[in-house]
Amino acid sequence: MTPLIHCKDLELSYSGKVLFDGFDFSISEGAKVGLIGSNGNGKSTLLKILSGEVEADEGEVSKRKHLKSHLVRQEANFDESLTILDCSLRDFGGLEGADVSTSVLAQSLLSRAGFENAYDTVGELSGGWKKRLQIVCGLLAEPELLLLDEPTNHMDLKAVLWLEGLLKQARFAWVVVSHDREFLNQVCGEIAEIDRVYKNGMIRHQGNYDSFIEHKETYLESLQSYSESLSNKVRREDEWLSRGPKARSTKAKGRIDKAHELKRELAQVKDRQKTKSSKIDFSGTQRKTKKFIEIEKAGFGYDSEELWSDLSLVVQPKSRLAILGKNGSGKSSLMKLLAKEHEQTSGKVKFADDLKIVYFDQQREALPEGVTLKRALAEESDSVVFQDRAVHVSSWARRFGFEVKQLETKVDDLSGGEKARVYIARLMLQEADILLLDEPTNDLDIQTREVLEESLRSFKGAVVLISHDRYMLKSVCRQFLGVSRSDMHVYAGFYQWFKNSYSASGKKPSGKSSSKKITEEQVREQNTDEPSKENKKKKKLSYMDQREFEQMEKKIMQAETKLEETQAKLTLPEVLSNSIKLQGLSKKMDEAKSEVERLYARWTQLENMQK
């Protein structure tokens, strides 16, 4: 493929931190690249270099003559008093300055992007819809290269699916910075990771995210083997040097020089192997209360507008509940009700006595402004108390990937991902019976997301989660509450909710989704290994049927995983270009879908036999 842009030997430092040193990067025609890496590694900066907004300290950036590129930034910067159509045409002089064909194209793109009225003002849009508008602006520029920086942040799943479809069909090349692993799996033909662990600061791999992870593991294993081999060589040369050889001959002098060169190389390899990661561990209270929150036929709305109604819900220890729904459906309102920040407009909500709730607000309103990182982490002293132990603030900061020299940095100057880590650090100091997390992954890098997932899985209390990160939802949660203005439904799996919400037919699937109430028995069934005595009395299953019922959830999870893996393979370039492979995988996907549906139907049948 012909290169569109090529960066060679880039060097760039920012605030004393070296981002790039001898860094090379190129983009060819038709490239579909996912750019990943930890927060602060220079991903956004690289996009700005590619767009021409930032110049490197050293190095060359060569572009195809008259290359048309467009950068979709993390944050929207619109005049919110203007109409959606006017804002989409801002690079063309607005509605009055644009020619007729451009105006017509803008209205067509806005319609395809889901905007119902192009004459609404931008100030009425949510963050997700503003992101869609940013992308429409990029498409209007008719780019040969589209650069997208965290485009799925603040988007609901429907918007993410729209963007996935757009990028899959795009004729232009694009580079997307994202921490959304499922999104990367669905759309990318290549993954590039910026990390100091790699010799040249980056590793690139043809394939989606899952195949990249396998490639990365192989690379790191080889790096570890090389490091061990190098250590053995250095040890032998150190023994030789300790005998005090004199450089009287050319051969001896060469060996001495080589020994020192090996030691320098070993130091560099070991330095590259040093990694930073947050250590997240929420503190549970270990209380034995059976019901934390009990909701009976509750509804909620603002003024005369009702968002949702007729919700019955029981949250118990070890509950892992995801709240799903489109933007504006009332997910965050329900979370605020659980956090005691809202009151229901109908029905009843009962909280356990002295219930300890930790609430991660997606707006992060509890994060202090105008203070240093040190004071944000430890408000009144040089230490914090975590799980009954005093921890110095410098050690506490390092636990979340911060360097000691950053302690005097203002919180306002931190990146979005760094602010999220500060917020998590503050919440970890509070004991909790229940964790309420509203979009906790926004701005978090993949490594921190994985650590957060592990912490949530091992937490002893209850977890209620709102997230658009499909990887996290399927990794952490066992129950899924679909929220909409017309109905509230409980689903036993993410795929079941997804199928109901986004299938062409729109029909409700059978199974647990037919119930409007998450009962105490359902929660206990999914969160404990042993059934309750009450449930034992109700059983009317044979021994073999009971064994099958107990294994059903595991079988469904395995079947859904197989389906997702098959779907991911269907997006690989080597499959799309091979009709035989494509036909074979399509058949396997149909079989996998049928198996998932069969298992859900059988689960429903077995469950009904118990009643």
Model confidence pLDDT, tens digit, residues 556-595: 778 877 877 777 676 666 765 666 776 777 778 778 877 8
Q: Tell me the average pLDDT of the chain.
A: 82
- Residue 143 pLDDT exceeds 80: yes
d(CA 146, CA 158): 21
Provide long-range contacts, Cβ within 8 A and 24+ apart, for 581-586. none
Task: Give burial (CB, 10 Å; 0-12/13-18/19+) of 64.
Answer: middle
Among 26-35, 332-341, 357-366, the least confident range: 357-366
In the numeric block, the tokens 């709102």 are attached to 466
CATH code assigned to 543-610: 1.10.287
Secondary structure letter of residue 288 according to DSSP: -
Domain ranges of the chain: 3-213, 228-273, 283-368+421-525, 543-610
d(CA 345, CA 303): 10
Q: Please report which confidence band the pLDDT of residue 464 belongs to, taking 50, 70 and 90 as the band edges.
A: very high
- For 393-452, write each residue's pLDDT tens digit: 999 998 888 888 889 999 888 888 888 889 999 999 999 999 999 989 888 888 889 889
The alpha carbon dihedral of 450, 453, 455, 457 has a sign of negative
In the numeric block, the tokens 């060679």 are attached to 8
Would you list the DSSP string of 46-63? HHHHHHTSS--SEEEEEE
- For 335-361, write each residue's pLDDT tens digit: 999 999 999 999 999 999 999 999 998
Closest CA relative to residue 5, chosen from 187, 143, 115, 116: 143
Task: Give burial (CB, 10 Å; 0-12/13-18/19+) of 463.
Answer: buried
pLDDT at residue 589, rounded to an integer? 75
Question: Within 10 A of 343 (CB to CB), how many other CB atoms are there?
Answer: 10
- Residues 559-569, buried b or exposed e (16+ Cβ, 10 A)? bbebbbebebb
Whether the CB-CB separation of 294 and 261 falls below 8 Å is answered with no
- Residue 324 pLDDT exceeds 50: yes
Written as one letter, the residue type at 49 is I
Half-sphere exposure in the Cβ direction for 81 (13 Å, CA): 0
> pTM to 2 decimals?
0.69
283-368+421-525 CATH fold: Rossmann fold (3.40.50)
- Residue 532 pLDDT exceeds 50: no
d(CA 265, CA 278): 28
> What is residue 287's three-state secondary structure?
coil
d(CA 391, CA 153): 33
Secondary structure letter of residue 508 according to DSSP: P
d(CA 376, CA 367): 8
Domains 283-368+421-525 and 543-610 share a fold: no
d(CA 174, CA 196): 24
Packing angle, helices 494-502 and 543-569, rounded to 10: 60
- For 12-23, write each residue's pLDDT tens digit: 987 677 889 889
Question: For 348, phi and psi rounded to 5 degrees?
Answer: -130, 145
* Contacts for 259 with CB less than 8 Å, ≥ 6 apart: 234, 237, 238, 240, 241
Give the tokens for residue 245. Answer: 């050889």
Whether the CB-CB separation of 170 and 153 falls below 8 Å is answered with no
Whether the CB-CB separation of 437 and 322 falls below 8 Å is answered with no
Instruction: Look at 600 and 347; give whichever has higher pLDDT.
Output: 347
- For 199-254, write each residue's pLDDT tens digit: 778 889 999 999 998 888 887 777 677 667 767 777 776 776 676 666 555 666 66
- For 271-313, write each residue's pLDDT tens digit: 655 666 678 888 778 787 889 999 999 989 887 788 888 899 8
In the numeric block, the tokens 């995988």 are attached to 585
pLDDT at residue 174, rounded to an integer? 96
Provide, rounded to the nearest whole percent, the portion of the chain with pLDDT above 90.
Answer: 36
Q: Please report which confidence band the pLDDT of residue 535 belongs to, taking 50, 70 and 90 as the band edges.
A: very low
* Contacts for 483 with CB less than 8 Å, ≥ 6 apart: 308, 323, 324, 325, 329, 330, 331, 334
Whether the CB-CB separation of 121 and 127 falls below 8 Å is answered with no
- Residue 50 pLDDT exceeds 60: yes
Closest CA relative to residue 156, chosen from 482, 563, 562: 482
Q: Please give the CATH superfamily to which domain 3-213 belongs.
A: P-loop containing nucleotide triphosphate hydrolases (3.40.50.300)
In the numeric block, the tokens 């590694």 are attached to 41
Half-sphere exposure in the Cβ direction for 196 (13 Å, CA): 19
d(CA 592, CA 383): 53
Question: ∠ CA 183-184-185 to the nearest 5 degrees?
Answer: 90
Half-sphere exposure in the Cβ direction for 570 (13 Å, CA): 16
pLDDT at residue 356, rounded to an integer? 94
Question: ∠ CA 597-600-604 to the nearest 5 degrees?
Answer: 140
d(CA 132, CA 163): 8
Characterise 352 by phi-psi region: left (phi > 0), alpha (psi -120 to 50), beta (else): beta
